[in-house]
Each structure stands twice: as structure tokens, then as C-alpha cells.
Structure 1
Amino acid sequence: MPGLEVKNLSYSYKDKSILEDVCLEINPGEFAGILGPNGSGKTTLLNNINRWLVPQKGSILIEEQKVESLSPKTLAQYVATVPQETSLDLSFTVEEIVMMGRNPYLKTFEREKPRDKTIIEECMKAVGIWNLKDRYINELSGGEKQRALIARALAQQPKVLVLDEPISHLDINYKWEILELLKNLCKNMKIIVLAVLHDINLASLFCDKLLLLKDGKIFKSGSPEEVITEQNIREVFDVDVKINIQPQSGRPMITFISPVHKDTRPRSCERIHVVCGGGAGEKILQYLRERGYQVSAGVLNIGDTDWKTAKNLGVDVIEDLPFSPVSEEKAEENKLYLDRAEAIIICNIPFGHGNLKNLILLRDVVAKGEKKIFVLHETPIGQRDYTGGLAAKIYSQILKESVVINSIEELRDFF
């Protein structure tokens, strides 16, 4: 059975709907992250789960217990919260702060028993701060304070640990440490960890399940691979990203790309194919994408500077193996893109035997006389020909039938 179930949860503040028919299930031992833009209902969802707010509709169950039926003390034994903002009395030691987590198990004016002190020690050791027990809380670094607050929450021995933006104010090294700590606690203690996170890439790396909120509704839930897609991020956050897979984890990572701004200047074409390489096409690809053109590039070796730029910009790339000559298969694929394009731009790139096929294909396209060909001719071909003159011969034939431009600034006059 799921450790945490939220069924058709709705919450409104005055006449404004904040959450609407939210449903989710999280199992013990799962680390779940909540993503979404500001105002999407992330914190409100947490505050309904820990009953700081009361929903107008729906139910929340923890191990089949409805949270509304539990007394505050009993609920604190099921759910522990590390809030976004916490005011700490500077006169308390770290151990005293963590000891507060045992309050749900104590009667009024009752002192901690040996078992409580044992639990406190175990929790502090679990988060790596037992050596700080006699330090005052105001003497700790940001990461150490956060560990102390997590230890206090663990001292409640909860079934569900709720955290609202636990890493937003931390340096990157502490962010990594805290998320790694939470993941280990989740697995080792078999508790549910539910955290609001803003860093999509870190959420992807550490979370087992993600909940993507938009306008108070769950837009998508599932594994990082299911949730973090270019379309989902675009629809929820209104930004363009490129998804790459992190080699070590196999998890999706996002790279933000420049937004596409279509302006009102007249254009004579839409599809442009760019022949580039070695970084010569970086600025051109960036400019064309910003103008809103449908851009393709190739053939490029995987790992080439322009290959990386094209991937990050969401440009269609015909790619071949690193440090290898253009294969017949990729040349044929490139020919399809050349045929589809309404205009072709040849960047100021060197030509060797490895990319000579690109030039041969261009010569064949030029011979048909059906395409607009633009050659960025900043450096004499003799200084860029590493084929013993063969590339220069073909290049000269192409120049005769092309629009020759001498700088990227001139290119803007045409595109």
C-alpha cells in the first residue's frame, strides 16, 4: 500500500483556487520532488499534507490513516516538516534543537527519557552532526543548520518527511550534500521524503518520483524520465530547453536555450541548412535560432564545438562519430536536409578529407541551381584547404553560383 495518498485534494483561499483535484501516491522509501513555477501550489500542497491548512475537498492518508482524524501530537508522529523559513533561538545548542523533535512523544512537563536521548543521538549521527551537539545553533554554517533541522524532524520518527525548498539558500556543495543525505535517509529508514525543489537538474538526479504542478493541478507525475521532457518544461515554465542524458546516472538534464523571438522583418525563406564545424557556426546558429528560423546543421562530428552549440539550441543535427570522416550513410542523410532547405549557409570552416563529402554535396546542390547559397568567405580558401587543393577547386565552383558575404554582420542583411 502507498505510504502517502492524496485523493482529489482541493484548496481555495477566499475565492481563489490554489489546488484542484490533486491526486498522488508515494511509497515508503521513495524520494519525491515537487516542481513547478511560483504560484503553482507547491507549498500549499505541503501545508495541506502536514495539516497546517485544511482542504475544502478530498482526503490525505498516511499508512491508511486520515490525517484529519489524528490529534496534533499523533500527526506529528506521522509527518515531520522542515519549513522554508525557520526562526531559531540563538541560545540553544544543536542537541537541544534536535531534542525538540521528541515533543510529540512527551507529556506536558515530562523530561526526556534515556530512549529519547538514544533516538536523538542516532538521528544526529545519521545526518553527520553528532560532533556538533554542544555548539550553539548560530555558530553553524548554512549546510550544518539544515542538517540540524533535518535531524530534529527525524527525531519525530515520522513516516513522511516534508521539506519546503530545503536547498534554495545553500551553496552548490551543500545542496548536493543535503540531497544526497535525504536520499540515503529515505532508503535506509524506509520513510517518504517529499520536497519542494527549484533546481530541475538536481531534482532529476536525486528523486525517485517527480510531481510537476501547473496552476494548482498535477500536470505530470512519474519518474524523472517521464516528467522532464522538453515539451513538459516548455508548457509549464514557458521556456525552451534541450534535454541531455547524464552519462553516470542516465537521468535527464536540461540546458536552457535562448528563447525564439520572431520579429516582423520580411523573410524569403523558413528552412536554413548550415554547413559548419569547429566553432565557425556558433554565432550564426545562435542568430538564426533567435530569429525563429527552422535550422539544421551537418554533417558534424559528435563533440565538435558547433555540434554542442546546435544541440543546446535545439537545432537538427546530422551527426557522425567523433574524429571520423563523413560516412556515406551520413552524407545521404545530409543530402535530405540540403534538399529540404530553402537556403544554405556555408561557414568559414577548414576543409580536410574528413569533411570533404560536405563540400561535394554542396557542389551537386549548386549545379541544380535551385537553392539560395550563401558563403561566409572571411578567410581565403587556400588557408583552409587541407586536401592538397581538391577542396579549393570545388569551393571555387560553388563561389561562382553563391552569394558571397564577408562577415556575420553582412549575413543579417539577408536573414
Structure 2
Amino acid sequence: MADLRIATKIVSVSFVVTAIFTASGVVGLLSLRHLVAAQDREYRVNVVALDRMTTVRSAVGAQQEAVLAYILSDPGFYRDTYAAVIEQSDREIDVQIAELRRLALPAAEHEGLRAFAATVTMWRTARDAALSAARSGDQRKAAYVVLVRSEAIARAVKDRANAFLAQLVEAVADGARQVKTNSVQTARLMGLLLFSGAVTALLLSVLTARAISRPLREVVDVLARVARGDLSRRVELDRGDEVGQMGRSLNETLGVLRNAFEEVHHRASHDGLTGLANRALLRERIARARPNAVRGLHVAMLLIDLDGFKQVNDAHGHAAGDYLLTVVAERLKAGVRADDTVARLGGDEFAVLLDGMDHADVDAVAERLLADLQAPTEFNGTVLVPRASVGVSLWDGEVSIDALMHDADVAMYAAKTGGKGRVVRA
């Protein structure tokens, strides 16, 4: 019975009751089909928009890295390679934004897309100024333009993208409220028509209404949770009719949304090459450790910079350099506790946050990490020997996070100037 189409159920009941019940069944069927079609259309548009928006964010991030690498590279093969990456990512951004504009999005979401596109245009203006300066040989000016402007523009891109995602979630919430309204109105109309029928019609209609309204209420409950930002609930409808199809479509949509949100959050807080925490996530972890530092539980920052990394890239190519960075990341993660934080701050610079460790143990850990990092490794038949300098700064929670990072940075540069391959405590 549960796998029969709703039309078949209603027709079966109509053979037993008056024409009034037939009318109620037709009204209920048309309303439900319209509801299913509207929700399916809305979900598809929002999921496609979310997927394309995620692709645009990734392309912008890749382009920002390529621009910085372009500026820091000398004219030649590597600079041409980065120029090709910039050109390819520009095409990808334009294609995805054009596809987003073709979607049947509401006016508010189109306005959010327009604002995001304007932010991308701002980035391109800053980028072109930096590239022009780099091509003219003024790398200092080019680096200044990128480092000063790209941070603000990257935040703007993230904020605009998050606003766009919030609009998509709000669209799903509006759909949930509309489903609830339509379901209530349909139930009232069917109840009014059925009440005017015979007792038999009333009893049969109650059974039919329960078979339809219960799963609809479950769907409405799930959509109401989505409106509140809860994507953990699923619709449990093992049936082959339109309601079951709507439930399966909703479950697929929720799965895509969960994966997309998790991916966006992970990309925003982790390094794309090594999978380590990025600078933003590291600062969050440091702030979380402040109460421990204030209570006297030792917190330490280790700043690690690879020695001679540029020579590895120049001699063996960037693939070898990327491989070496991933090896260093794995060795750092393997050398600390599960509660400690290992981050890549950019380029060949890493950081380790040790929370709740004695000062003597901090020095021992730093020396052990340095020794582990400098073990040889092989890439495509070539033996690479990483070298690093380590700066250590202890934190009592009284100074700012920036001051803690600065002290570790000063100690690291002291290690470099003192002969490299050393550990220096601030």
C-alpha cells in the first residue's frame, strides 16, 4: 500500500464514497505534485549555485597563490607557468560566474552574486597592478601591492561567498515555510470536503490522510531544522510514491549541502597542499590556549623555517619542493601530541603550538623535531636533505598573540643568523 502512487490510493477510496471525496483527492494530489515540483526545482538551483560558488572560491585562492609566486619568480619558465595558471583560473572564474548568472536565482541572490563579482574585479585590478610592476622589474612594488591588498580582498571574497551561502540556506528555509503553509491549507480543504460526506467516507479519508500527512510532517520537520542550520536529520521514508521521491531528493540535497559546507569550512581553515592548519586556525588555537597560559600551564610557540628551500625548487623543480613540504608536514605531525597544533604559515614556514608542556620538555621537543626534519628523503631518484631553523617563544598569556608570534619569529631569525640548523629560544 505504501508503494502505490497517491493517485491510486485516492481513486481506490473514491470508488467507495461520494463525488465529494473524489474532489478532495484531486485537490490533494494537485497540491502535492505542485509542492514536490517546486521544492525539487528550488533544491536543484540552490545546489548547482553552491557547487559553482565553491569552484569560484577555489579558483580565486589558486590565482592569489600563483600571483605571489609570479612576482617572486624571475622571468622564464616558472613565471610563464604561473602566468598560465593565472589565465586558466581567470577563465574558470568567468565561466562559473556566467553560469551562476544563468540560473533562475531570486533577485536577492542575484544581487549577492553581483557584489561577489565586483569583489573579484577589485582583486583583478590589484593583481594587474602587481603583475605590471613585476614585469617592469619592480618586484618590491609588486610584492607590496599583493601583500597589502590581497589580505583585505581575500577576506572580502570570503565574506561575499559566505553571504551567498547564507542566502542559499535562507532560500531552503523559505521553501520549508512554504511547504508547511501549503500542507496545512491542503489538509484543511480536504477535511472540509470530507466532513460533508458519509461516515464511511470520513473513516476512509482519515486513514488516507494519515498515510500522507505523517511523512509530510516529517519532511516539514526536517526542512524546519534546515532553516535553523541543522543538516543532521534525514527523512526516513521507504516508499515508492511522490512523497518517497521527495524524501529521497531532500536527503540527497542535504548530503550535498553538508559536504559543501564541510569542504568550505575545511578550505577556509587548512593549508591546501599539506592539509595542516593555516594561520587563521592557528590563531584560534592560540586564543583557546590563553586560559591555560594564564593559569601557569606552559604554552609554547615553535616557528620553523626551512633553510635553502629556494635552492631545492631551483635545482629540482616545484614538484620536488611541494613534496618536501608535505614530508616536513608529516614529520611535524608525527612528532607532537594529538592535542598540539601544527600549521603551515605560508611558503616554507611552519609553526607548532605546544599547549600544557614543561619548559624543559619544550626544548627537548624542539630539538627532536629539528632532528626528525633533517632526515634525508628521496624524490624521483633524488635524495633531498631538509634543513631548518627553529625559534621558540614561551607564553604566559599576558602578551598579545601577535607579540608571541613576533618573539618566535625573532628567535627563528637568530637561529638562522647563528649558523642555521639550530634551535633558539626567545
Give the TM-score normalised by structure 2. 0.29
The structure with the greater share of residues assigned to helix is: 2
The structure with the greater share of residues assigned to strand is: 1
Give the TM-score normalised by structure 1. 0.30
Bigger relative CO (Cα 8 Å, ≥ 6 apart): 2
